A and B are shown apart, each in its own frame.
Chain A
Amino acid sequence: MAVIKLKELSEKEDRLTGGHRMCAGCGAPIVVRQMLLAIDEPVVIANATGCLEVATTIYPYTAWKMPWIHSAFENAAATIAGVESMYRSLKQQKKLPVDKDIKFIAFGGDGGTYDIGLQSLSGALERGHNFMYVCYDNGAYMNTGIQRSSSTPFGADTTTSPAGKAIPGKQQNRKDLTKICVAHNIPYAAQASPHNWKDLMEKTRKAMSLEGAKFMNVIAPCNRGWRTQTNDAIMLSKLAVNTCFWPLYEVEYGVTTVNYAPKKNRRPIVEWLKPQGRFKHLFKPGNEWMLAKFQEYVDDQWRAVVKLHNEAHPADQIDPEEGKTW
């Protein structure tokens, strides 16, 4: 695989144009543009219903300079599976309109992926279609107005898990979707973040070079839902990684590799929670247990993924507690 060079990227055309109507400061289009920049081949996209779909294709306009389809909310994986199946069929029959190697990607938010689209995703991964599913994870149903999803972090104040007098926000931890996808024994599954563009783009390129079903879960801060500033997306995605809330790792043919381990700069989870209005109530007197519980969850998750890395890489051991100074 060719090394990704900034100069080359700067000369490539964006496949998702400016002028789309995503909110200012939204993480999702940053993720999409970075990923598409990393791919040289033609790409066909299926998009689940959600912010990315709604805001980029308000008829008669489209922000996509590539073939793109939206059919419904819960079925981006099944839709792209159909497209990819037709590609295979026409290729075998030598009936393709353009005889080129084409790549297939489905984009969905966490609502369309962790929740309503999970069955369709699981089916497409199991059948091994040659495609990549990308979840841009902003941790709630942002398009419909910030309702909790199974990706919403513990404690978060959403419009369907409000921080009330009796119940202080969402009471459950997140579903670990990346692990669920790994359990399908697909060639490649990874977590990435837009602040680390090199890691995100290298993972995209690696995924696209492998035959079969691939999955990438990419954190995509939403300033409307997270109750933050419009210039916070990159800072918050970086903090999500440095607090170990969102570990950067990949699982290639069953081998887990942690791509980045914060050493001197590992931060306590409160540093990621504090700037976000959705966690404001966690800092009120009496809710200290919530902060403690959140930190405990993050530590457990981090140790678990590091353990898998250490088992797979005897010569490259990571100390999960390194840099933990609080």
Chain B
Amino acid sequence: MPKKVAMTGNVAVANAMRQINPDVCAAYPITPSTEIVQQFSNFVADGIVDTVLVTVESEHSAMSACIGACAAGGRVMNATSANGLALMWEMLYIASGNRLPIILSCVNRALSAPINIHGDHSDSMGARDSGWIQLYAENAQEAYDNTIMAPRIGEHFDVRLPVMSCMDGFIISHSIENIELLDDKQVKDFIGPYKSNVPTLLDINNPVTMGALHLQDYYIESKRQQHEAMKKAKKVVIDVGKEYGKFSGRTYGLFEEYKLKDADIALVVLNSAAGTAKVVVDELRKQGIKAGLLKPRLFRPFPYLEVANALKNCTAVCVMDRADSFGGAGGPLFTEVRSALYDLPARPLMINKIYGLGGRDLGLEDVRKVYRELVKLAESGKAAKLYEYITVRD
């Protein structure tokens, strides 16, 4: 039977890992993800899981060991944050390029410099082109649920890609929430045994060469296959989300629409800030303002057709980014959403706010201000600024 428990986001993810019982976990400590592997180490030390834990000397080696382990033919998990993810960068591309369905729990944290340990999305947004499927979570429950769905998505024979499951550092990783843990057997039955559709390194009767040199004559075909696999991931995410809902009672799709169906104005925001925004949406609805919210869950592959369809009736939309793309035409989420809306016959007016970098709090009043600006924008049809920082000293 599922049970209600109070735990931090990190402990919830560690418990998802316990229930998944991966064959190998290779990881290196970094705030704020450390606690996941720390908790998981206890499960290993107490013999609760079958996992071989490889306590490597760096995140680069963590992902390298995950690559070797997954290529050897088994389920592999790992957790990191910020600079740890940045140190893995090279290996992220190699994991996806070799089509290895490794699961990484990314506890979002700001990248240095200046050094900072708190939550923003500069780490995972920087990895958005690395060929990993990316799932985002508003709270500990979603982080737990996404972690359990991740192997089913990445290991699907139509996909075979690594999956990054993200949640906000400290705000979610270190806050205690009430969540529902599934029964161990439910998880075991849901994820099933690890299977591979290609020979693995330990299959010595079918020797395989992995990571061969692809020159001008083959490289682009290899990348094209990766591209197609990523496209197919969208349907798998939907199917797995539905199947998960059947026994957990929590169905997941590509994104969450909160009072969006009839909304005139809407925010698009990832992760924990969506919880804050929902409170403001409720306030505004009471005042008769048709405000709504779109919270992306799947960022890679980005479901641009579905996002465009969900926002098509809005007059004005603000995309909130907890990461900057310095010198770009807006933050990383903004450029995706704005591009998604380009083909609509009538496009909503759009603005972009960069908020909460380095864990700067986003309060209710900050969100109210954004919605007030959207009301004005919808009336005037003219944005004062396309792209600006909020929650910042001027």
Residues of A within 8 A of B (CB): 42, 44, 46, 53-54, 57-60, 62, 64-72, 74-75, 77-90, 92-93, 95-98, 100, 102, 119-120, 122-124, 126-127
- For B68, give the chain A residue with the smallest CB separation: A82
Taking a contact as CB atoms closer than 8 A, the residue among B74, B90, B207 that contacts A86 in the complex is B74
Task: Given A71-B98, A72-B64, A86-B52, answer yes or no on A59-B214 (Cβ-Cβ < 8 Å).
Answer: yes
What's the least CB distance linking B214 to chain A, in Å?
Answer: 5
Total of A-B residue pairs, C-beta within 8 Å: 177
- A46 to B212 Cα, complex, angstroms: 12
- A102 to B26 Cα, complex, angstroms: 21
- A238 to B52 Cα, complex, angstroms: 43
> When the two chains form their complex, are residues B69 and A82 in contact, meaning their CB atoms are under 8 A apart?
yes
CB of B1 closer than 8 Å to a CB of A = no
> When the two chains form their complex, are residues B213 and A83 in contact, meaning their CB atoms are under 8 A apart?
no
- A82 to B62 Cα, complex, angstroms: 9
> When the two chains form their complex, are residues A83 and B69 in contact, meaning their CB atoms are under 8 A apart?
yes
What's the least CB distance linking A239 to chain B, in Å?
Answer: 33
B57-73: which have CB < 8 Å to A? 57-58, 60-62, 64-73
> When the two chains form their complex, are residues B52 and A68 in contact, meaning their CB atoms are under 8 A apart?
no
CB of B210 closer than 8 Å to a CB of A = yes
> When the two chains form their complex, are residues B61 and A57 in contact, meaning their CB atoms are under 8 A apart?
no
Question: A68-B209, A82-B67, A123-B57 known; 10 other A-B pairs, CB under 8 Å?
Answer: A54-B213, A59-B212, A65-B207, A68-B208, A75-B64, A79-B68, A81-B65, A82-B68, A85-B65, A93-B23
- For A43, give the chain B residue with the smallest CB separation: B204
B211-225: which have CB < 8 Å to A? 211-215, 218
CB of B352 closer than 8 Å to a CB of A = no
- For B194, give the chain A residue with the smallest CB separation: A95
Task: Given A82-B67, A82-B68, A85-B69, answer yes or no on A67-B204 (Cβ-Cβ < 8 Å).
Answer: yes
Can you show 19 pairs from A to B with CB atoms below 8 A apart?
Answer: A42-B204, A54-B213, A59-B212, A67-B204, A70-B210, A75-B61, A78-B56, A80-B68, A81-B65, A83-B68, A84-B68, A86-B23, A86-B73, A86-B76, A90-B74, A97-B200, A98-B205, A102-B202, A123-B61
CB of B24 closer than 8 Å to a CB of A = yes
> When the two chains form their complex, are residues B204 and A81 in contact, meaning their CB atoms are under 8 A apart?
no
> When the two chains form their complex, are residues A119 and B58 in contact, meaning their CB atoms are under 8 A apart?
yes
Task: Given A78-B56, A89-B50, A102-B202, answer yes or no on A64-B209 (Cβ-Cβ < 8 Å).
Answer: yes
- A120 to B67 Cα, complex, angstroms: 14
Contacting residues, chain A, for B269 (C-beta < 8 A)? none
Contacting residues, chain B, for A90 (C-beta < 8 A)? 23, 72-74, 202
What's the least CB distance linking B131 to chain A, in Å?
Answer: 14
CB of B91 closer than 8 Å to a CB of A = yes
What's the least CB distance linking B192 to chain A, in Å?
Answer: 13
> When the two chains form their complex, are residues B23 and A120 in contact, meaning their CB atoms are under 8 A apart?
no
Taking a contact as CB atoms closer than 8 A, the residue among A53, A72, A93, A126 that contacts B213 in the complex is A53
What's the least CB distance linking A57 to chain B, in Å?
Answer: 4
Contacting residues, chain A, for B213 (C-beta < 8 A)? 53-54, 57-59
What's the least CB distance linking A210 to chain B, in Å?
Answer: 21
What's the least CB distance linking B66 to chain A, in Å?
Answer: 6
- A58 to B217 Cα, complex, angstroms: 10
CB of B201 closer than 8 Å to a CB of A = yes
What's the least CB distance linking B46 to chain A, in Å?
Answer: 16
